[in-house]
Amino acid sequence: MRTPIIAGNWKLNKTISEGVALTTALKASVADVNDVEIIVAPPFTALAAVNAVIAGSNIRLSAQDVYSEDSGAFTGEVSAPMLKDVGCEYVIIGHSERRQYFGETNDSVNEKVKAALAYELKPIICVGEQLEERETGQTEAIIEDHVTGGIAGLSDAELLSCVIAYEPVWAIGTGKTATPAQAQEVHSFIRGLLTKTYSADVALQLCLQYGGSVKPENASELMAQPDVDGALVGGASLEAESFAKIVASGQ
């Protein structure tokens, strides 16, 4: 009942021409896929050019961040109406790198989620514990804090426009993937958590992605878990071949 969603987060990678080349190759490789939602999230500078490549295809466009205000004196920021204007359908919010290096908090995540929803952008809200937090038994408390903080005040319909991505910080870019059982355990915890505030039906419909060293070799096993509905892919999304293989494993 949940369509798998596989998203490539390019992070701080790819010039415009590199992004166009990657997307052109990807578009050809995934042309026959119609049962997976495929998303690419280039840096802001490549959004318009990548959008032109994917026009009319089965690939959707995402940004990697958004600011909570629509316009004004906020040097360096990009707003939800601007992302809508450039062709984005999704936006990643609260990635652990933004929490770690750029001072993102649950409150700022929540403001950004609401700003995105106001312009019919679908937020991909990232949550995840650090290694030390896992080792000291705080995983569930951290996940609960990130999830409840990020989605505070959302209606059923608004929540269902969101995706929650579980990305354990210790698995991001380290080659250390969570085991399928570890991913499933946290995903099932998140779904249970949602039923405290939302109906079981809403919790069942929400798509939960896993992210953290997802590769063609481990993607099928992760996505075979009952509560893992897709993947948020960093490094392996930077090459069309490896990302297309991950997309295929979602079929």
Nearer to ligand 13P, 150 or 234 (CB): 234
Check if 135 is active-site.
no
Nearer to ligand 13P, 121 or 172 (CB): 172
- The reply on whether position 4 binds ligand 13P by CB under 6 A is no
- The reply on whether position 232 binds ligand 13P by CB under 6 A is yes
Q: Which of residues 160-199 bind ligand 13P (CB under 6 A)?
A: 167, 172-173
Smallest distance, ligand 13P to C-beta of residue 39, A = 11
Single-letter amino acid code for the residue at 40: V
Q: Tell me how many residues contact ligand 13P (CB under 6 A).
A: 14
CA distances from 114 to 109, 111, 126, 134, 152 (A): 9, 5, 15, 29, 9
Helix (H) or strand (E) holding 210: strand 207-211
Nearer to ligand 13P, 93 or 194 (CB): 93
- The reply on whether position 249 binds ligand 13P by CB under 6 A is no
Nearer to ligand 13P, 203 or 219 (CB): 219
User: Residues 61, 178, 190, 233: which binds ligand 13P (CB under 6 A)?
Assistant: 233
- The reply on whether position 235 binds ligand 13P by CB under 6 A is yes
Single-letter amino acid code for the residue at 216: P
> What are the residues whose beta carbons fall under 8 Å from the beta carbon of 53, sequence distance 6 or more?
20, 23, 24, 27
User: Residues 6, 9, 14, 99: which binds ligand 13P (CB under 6 A)?
Assistant: 9
Nearer to ligand 13P, 203 or 237 (CB): 237
Check if 104 is active-site.
no
Catalytic residue (choose from 104, 129, 133, 167): 167
User: Residues 46, 54, 214, 240: which binds ligand 13P (CB under 6 A)?
Assistant: 214
Cβ atoms of 103 and 109 within 8 Å: the answer is no
> What are the residues whose beta carbons fall under 8 Å from the beta carbon of 105, sequence distance 6 or more?
99, 149
> What are the residues whose beta carbons fall under 8 Å from the beta carbon of 190, sequence distance 6 or more?
127, 143, 147, 164, 166, 208, 227
User: Residues 43, 211, 230, 250: which binds ligand 13P (CB under 6 A)?
Assistant: 211
Query: In 108-141, which positions are buried (b, 16+ CB within 10 angstroms) versus exposed (e)?
Result: bbbbbbbbbbebebbbbbbbbbbeebbeeeebbe
DSSP 46: G
Smallest distance, ligand 13P to C-beta of residue 127, A = 12
What is the distance between the alpha carbons of residues 223 and 59, in angstroms, rounded to a whole number?
Answer: 20
Residues that bind ligand 13P (CB under 6 A): 9, 95, 167, 172-173, 211-214, 232-236
